[in-house]
Amino acid sequence: MGKWKNYIIWIEKTMSYVGKGQAGNPVLVASDININGASSVSFDNVFSSDFNWYEVYFYELQSDSSTGDTYLRMNLRAGGSDLTSSNYDAAWQRHSFDTSSSVFDNAAYTTTLELTPPSRLDNDGGSSATAIMRIDPNTPNVVFFYIDYLHMDSGGGNNDWGGRGAIGYDNSGTAVDGFKIYLTTSSTPNEDFNGGAIYIFGYK
Amino acid sequence: MADKTKAEFLQQLKDDNIKIFDNVNGARIEITGSEFDTRLNDKAQGLYDSQEYDKIVTSGGQHSDYLNMRGNAVNSNSKINSFVNFLDSFMSAIQAGKFGTDAQSWDAYTEWKAIQDKYTQP
């Protein structure tokens, strides 16, 4: 066993493993698994230069709204406040699970974002949004992030979508350190979440 | 159930002693004071808007969200909710003579008809 032990020690000293050790491992920065009943869910001071980039997992976000015109929306945040300048741009591509429909959505110079189009969540039991958002908040001038998502039973039955999006925010002079998601029939939070979880991981 | 005004929705929310919470960094924060009044008013407006929206989805009418309403209605209609289904409906109408006998000699129709005759429904 002696020579094998020495061999293993030699391997450990001379080789580096992608995915082992600190470099490359995701680190859980923050989470919220108790969003049921919350009107909005915010995270402040979670994005920083401590990590090169971040992944945000939105898992089965659900709404308590009884109507199909409730949108899932998001604002980036800095210093505990929403960033509401008309600096949000987004381009989305989605495909229906139920039909052969492909839809392209875009938003330019908006003050808030509709997440995971068609963005509508209601309480009919199957309506949910699940997404992975990748963000590099350290980019100077413009923060870019990318989302892959699944939006089930959006605003009524037989309306399931898979899609992805690219989003940009002009952050000149403002360091983005968090975000807020909420449900609304207008532009301010006026509906509550009915379940779901959010996890934020940092990567070096 | 009778329609409600925004004021009636607001009163209902007050009668229900509703509370409003935000989650910040995993902690639940109750909204109070003037911010609560503003948010409660937004909720009442949202309930009213939703009531009006749902009425139009059910019965039809004018709404700024008409494109999504049309899209959802098309998605739920098996005769037109995909290109293949729409084509099948259209060609079936030609087959039934709804566009006259000339349309039945249209080459796209004869190609479609040949495919229908080749692969038949059990």
Domain that holds residue A130: 28-203
| Residue of chain B nearest A160, judged by CA positions | B75
- Of B112 and A23, the structure prediction assigns the larger pLDDT to B112
Across the interface, whether the CB atoms of B42 and A186 are under 8 A apart is answered yes
**Taking 60 as the threshold, does the pLDDT of residue A22 lie above it?**
no
User: What does the pLDDT average to over B80-86?
Assistant: 86
Using 50, 70 and 90 to split pLDDT, how confident is the model at A30? very high
Has residue A106 been placed in a domain?
A: yes
A40–B23 CB contact, under 8 Å: yes
Supply φ then ψ for residue A39, to 5 degrees: -80, -30
Where residue A23 falls among pLDDT bands split at 50, 70, 90?
Answer: low
Q: Does B68 fall in a domain?
A: yes
pLDDT digits (tens, 9 = 90+) for B45-73: 999 998 999 899 999 999 988 988 888 88
Q: Does a structural domain hold residue A16?
A: no
Nearest alpha-carbon partner for A66 in B40, B37, B76, B53: B53
- Residue A123 touches chain B, beta carbons under 8 Å: no
Q: How far apart are CA A189 and CA A132, in angstroms?
A: 22
Tell whether B119 is within 8 A of chain A (Cβ): no
Mean pLDDT taken over chain A: 87
User: Which residue is associated with the tokens 């409730």?
Assistant: A70
Helix B83-95, helix B107-118: angle, nearest 10: 100
Residues of A in contact with B57 (CB under 8 A): 68, 156
Q: Is residue A79 assigned to a domain?
A: yes
User: Is it the case that residue B97 has pLDDT exceeding 80?
Assistant: yes
What domain count does chain A have? 1
Q: What confidence tier does A9 reach under pLDDT thresholds 50, 70, 90?
A: low
Position B2 pLDDT exceeds 50? yes
Clarify whether residues B57 and B103 are in a common domain: no
Rounded mean pLDDT of A147-171? 87
Q: What pLDDT does residue A172 have?
A: 83
pLDDT at A159: 81
Domain CATH for A168: 2.60.120
Asked whether residue B47 falls in the same domain as residue B83, the answer is: no
| Cα angle value A19/A176/A26 (rounded, 5°) | 10
Choose among A177, A194, A186: nearest CA to A121. A194
Query: Is A6 inside any structural domain?
Result: no
- Confirm or reject contact between A41 and chain B (CB < 8 A): yes
Query: Are B62 and B33 found together in one domain?
Result: yes
Judgement on whether residues B51 and B84 belong to the same structural domain of the protein: no
Q: In Å, what is the CA distance from A29 to each residue of A76, A77, A135, A167, A202?
A: 17, 16, 14, 22, 6
* Residue (of A136, A76, A146) closest to A116 by Cα position: A146
Local structure of residue A15 (DSSP, 8 states): -
- Domain assignment of residue B83, given as a range: 79-118
Same domain as B41, residue B12: yes
Do B19 and B38 lie in one domain? The reply is yes
Name the CA dihedral angle for A118, A121, A126, A129, rounded to a multiple of 10 degrees: 60
Residue B38 lies in a domain: yes
Residue B20 lies in a domain: yes
**Shared-domain flag, residues B106 and B66:** no
**Interchain proximity B54–A67, CB inside 8 Å:** yes
Residue A121 maps to a domain: yes
Residue A45 lies in a domain: yes
Per-residue pLDDT reduced to its tens digit, A74-133: 999 999 999 998 899 999 999 988 777 888 989 898 898 999 988 889 888 789 999 999
Greater confidence, B83 or A147? A147
Is the same domain home to B48 and B19? yes
What pLDDT is stored for residue A171 in this prediction?
85
**A173 part of a folded domain:** yes
Query: Three-class SS string for A163-201?
Result: EEEEEEEECCCCCCCEEEEEEECCCCCCECEEEEEEEEE
Q: Which of B75, B79, B86 to mutate to test the interface with A (most CBs of A within 10 A)?
A: B75
Same domain membership, residue B89 and residue B61: no
Higher pLDDT, A9 or A129: A129
Q: What is the pLDDT of residue A19?
A: 45
Mean pLDDT computed over B79-94: 90
Q: Is A38 on the interface with B (CB under 8 A)?
A: yes
Say yes or no: B6 contacts chain A, CB-CB below 8 A.
no
Asked whether this complex has an ipTM greater than 0.85, the answer is no
Q: Which of A14-23, A82-91, B13-22, B32-41 has the lowest mean pLDDT?
A: A14-23
Tell me: pLDDT of B42 over 90: yes
The reply to whether A119 falls in a domain is yes
Q: Is the Cβ of B64 closer than 8 Å to some Cβ of chain A? A: no
Nearest by CB to B53, which of A43, A44, A67?
A67
pLDDT, one tens digit per residue, over A177-195 is 999 999 998 888 999 999 9
Structure tokens at A149: 């998502």
Whether residue B34 lies inside any domain: the answer is: yes
Average pLDDT over residues B15-28: 95
In angstroms, what separates the C-alpha of A41 from chain B's closest C-alpha? Answer: 5
CB A117 within 8 A of CB A86: no
Q: Is there a single domain that holds both residue B62 and residue B96?
A: no
Residues B67, B11, single domain; the answer is yes
In this predicted structure, the answer to whether residue B22 has a pLDDT above a threshold of 70 is yes
- Tokens (6 digits) for B55: 């009425």
The answer as to whether B95 is a domain residue is: yes
Do B53 and B103 belong to one domain?
no
Residue B1, domain member (yes or no): no
When pLDDT is cut at 50, 70 and 90, the band that residue A154 belongs to is: confident
Q: Residue A2 pLDDT > 70, yes or no?
A: no
pLDDT of residue A139: 81
Report the distance separating Cα B89 and Cα B86, nearest Å. 5
Total structural domains within chain B? 2
